[in-house]
Structure 1
């Protein structure tokens, strides 16, 4: 398998006005990810409202993703579950659709016990032969918030773990510490946290980022600029997009969907996830923030 690197946006789950999963809209978002210049995609994750999807809905959308991509981009399937057998089943479901790896969150119920995490991931790997695992280290309460050294120790104990998605703060420092503790034993560490710290992470040798989808073209351009040595351009894109990303930190998927709607990529912004909804003032403010970031958008200019 080619080493995974670059921009891998996490796809949201669009819903119809009747709150059903919207397959047609999902296909449009997949095509946008491809056209944006992203290096791959991830689904489902926390930015996909995964906790609200039924098993049949999840399976349906993973299959649609593989079909619509048709090999045009690499994809990583989200396969987190407290039960390693369920996690393995979700990983196999993704592999059947063409996923090259499974992103699996370090389970919070294992706490800081490295041995328990190793046993969990080893059980997943045993039940899904050939699986490449990306260990997702997320903050509490959703994740275990493992220390960087614990992340490296878990990876060392489970050969199937080749990548880490690091989302605990301070992200940049943790990328450095994981890479140092792993001593070359990983194929890469990617940043998360909505790309709000992406330049610090890249400066510390992160091999990519996994933001939400709404600025995929801007993030792809930032990555290409950084890789080519044009750090000034990367800094400009970061500076112009960061205010919108900070707004998204509060409103999460609802902000993502509002931006995608204004870019003509979604008709409905309905969300099942818990969290604050945008009021009239927020809708006015997000319009100003979109305008600030619009120069970094290479397609689907906001309306």
Structure 2
């Protein structure tokens, strides 16, 4: 039996992925992590997402995941809602991670369908059973992360069916090609079962996805001061204002998405003195100096808050 606990709050708006902060030696920098979180909240994010792919979750030990979850949620202390990524191939392990996140104060968990490597995938029936098992273990909402990284292609009709059948599965982060078309179909087929049709992929498709009906987005954490006002304006019915803001910030959005990837946020934070090190864990490598310079140049032109927050 699925739980029937009602979801108490509908989440919407601009949620930023918090990168995982490391020392130059590759250890967790929990003080830097707290400063990172404080900046993201101060810069206007409506919420946080932690342990995401852009948080380098794939390079963390289970103990590190637990330490980060409790450290961040304790430090946030309810200032904004926090989504915790709990993806795992095993539904039992994913359920255990999700229960722990709920116990620590998470507002929601985000999960990709089960996959491993380049070839091991699960069919629709197995995916459905997977999410049923996780849903039965918790009371908070689940966000289905429909991302190319999983290598699992599912239809909007299948996602809508899951929303109708699984009580806690009410949010869907769509970050596949032609995301707007898929969001539009998902909303049409899912109706009231879709509490949160969300955009993803660092805002590169944000305006199109908002036009398709998205009510939230999980974004990079480097410049919430640029991104949150776009969603705020759009959701308040001010599309022209949102479009103008999107046009202004699009060069930085594009540069992050197409040139830098997950390192962009930490590079901006280090440049502004928010964190001491923008190190990524091996085998990832730092940004090329020219790429980093291009990122900082665009951010300075926009007077991004990250470059002056710590001063």
Q: TM exceeds 0.5?
A: yes
Within the alignment, does 1:17 sit opposite 2:24 as a pair? yes
Query: Deviations for 1:91-139, whole angstroms, at most 9, x for unmatched residues?
Result: 111111100211111223684732111111111122x232421111111
Matches within 5 A, 1:255-274: 255-272=264-281, 274=283
**Match for 1:69 among 68, 72, 76?**
76
**Match for 1:192 among 200, 205, 208?**
200
TM-score by length of 2: 0.90
Identify the residue that residue 252 of structure 1 maps to in structure 2.
261
Deviation at 1:237, TM superposition (A): 2.2
Matches within 5 A, 1:1-303: 1-108=8-115, 111=121, 113-126=123-136, 128-139=137-148, 141-249=149-257, 250-272=259-281, 274-275=283-284, 277-294=286-303, 297=305, 300=308
| d(CA) in 2 for partners of 1:182, 1:111 | 25
Deviation at 1:14, TM superposition (A): 0.5
8 A Cα contact 1:66 1:98, kept in partner: yes
Check 1:143–1:131 CA distance in 2 against 1; reply closer, same or farther (3 A cut): farther
Report how many residues are paired: 300
TM-score by length of 1: 0.92
8 A Cα contact 1:10 1:42, kept in partner: yes
Structure 1 stretches of 5 or more lacking a match? none
- 3-state SS in 2 of match to 1:67: helix
8 A Cα contact 2:14 2:228, kept in partner: yes
8 A Cα contact 1:6 1:223, kept in partner: yes
| d(CA) in 2 for partners of 1:158, 1:111 | 21
Check 1:273–1:193 CA distance in 2 against 1; reply closer, same or farther (3 A cut): farther
8 A Cα contact 1:117 1:154, kept in partner: no
- 3-state SS in 2 of match to 1:173: helix
Query: Deviations for 1:113-167, whole angstroms, at most 9, x for unmatched residues?
Result: 32111111111122x232421111111x434232222221222232220111111
| d(CA) in 1 for partners of 2:201, 2:271 | 23
| d(CA) in 1 for partners of 2:88, 2:39 | 29
Farther-moved stretch of structure 1 (58-67 vs 110-119) = 110-119
